[in-house]
Amino acid sequence: MLKLNLTERKMRSIFGKLIVLSFIFIIVILLGCGKSSQKKNPRPGFDFDLPDLNGKIVSLEDFKGKVLVINFWATWCPPCEEDMPQLNQLQKRYKNEGLVVIGIALDKDSLNLVEPFVREKRIGYPILRGNEQVLGTVEDFSGVPTTLIVDPKGDIKKKYDGSFDKDDLEKSLKELLY
């Protein structure tokens, strides 16, 4: 009976440690969501071929000559959701000047999760379904949200890791649009 109690105590101790480590791991993951920093001219030569929500393949080439704001996001990311109204406003305000906002959803089950989310949030810009390949073309991709400013030649001019500063993003856009 004494041996059983010692084994039982050891098992409880190990189980407790696993729970604590799991909790710490989840906290570390969540802290990465929404981390904010920015880099100028991270890398030229960005490209993608991704399906939209209807399955049509959309390419960077389709937007040649346009300034792009490309936002990588996921339905489970609160900072991503907070950026969406600002992206909608930018799309409306600068579309006649040559701006296109594109959202790239990174949810695993993107079609079933993203389509209703886009309708509910009234996202007014194109949404594409992301994959590992497109993430490989973004230097130092650290998670969502990540927002890129891409010039009319297709080169990344600025990258925001985490939520972007709207005034800074808008200033950068105006430099490329006017």
**pLDDT tens string 98-134:** 999 999 999 987 778 999 999 999 999 999 999 988 9
Mean pLDDT of the chain: 83
3-class secondary structure, 65: coil
Query: Which one-letter DSSP state was computed for residue 58?
Result: E
Q: Which CATH superfamily is domain 36-177 in?
A: Glutaredoxin (3.40.30.10)
Q: Report whether 156 contacts 148 (CB < 8 A).
A: yes
Cis, peptide link before residue 116, omega less than 30° from 0: no
pLDDT-based confidence at residue 36 (cuts at 50, 70, 90): very low
pLDDT-based confidence at residue 9 (cuts at 50, 70, 90): low
Model confidence, pTM: 0.76
b/e code 22-46 from CB counts within 10 Å (16+ = b): eeeeeeeeeeebbeeebeeebeeeb
Domain ranges across the chain: 1-32, 36-177
- Of 69, 65, 41, give the one whose Cα is nearest residue 170: 69
Q: Please, what is the end-to-end C-alpha distance for the chain in angstroms?
A: 81
- Of 78, 99, 81, 103, give the one whose Cα is nearest residue 90: 99
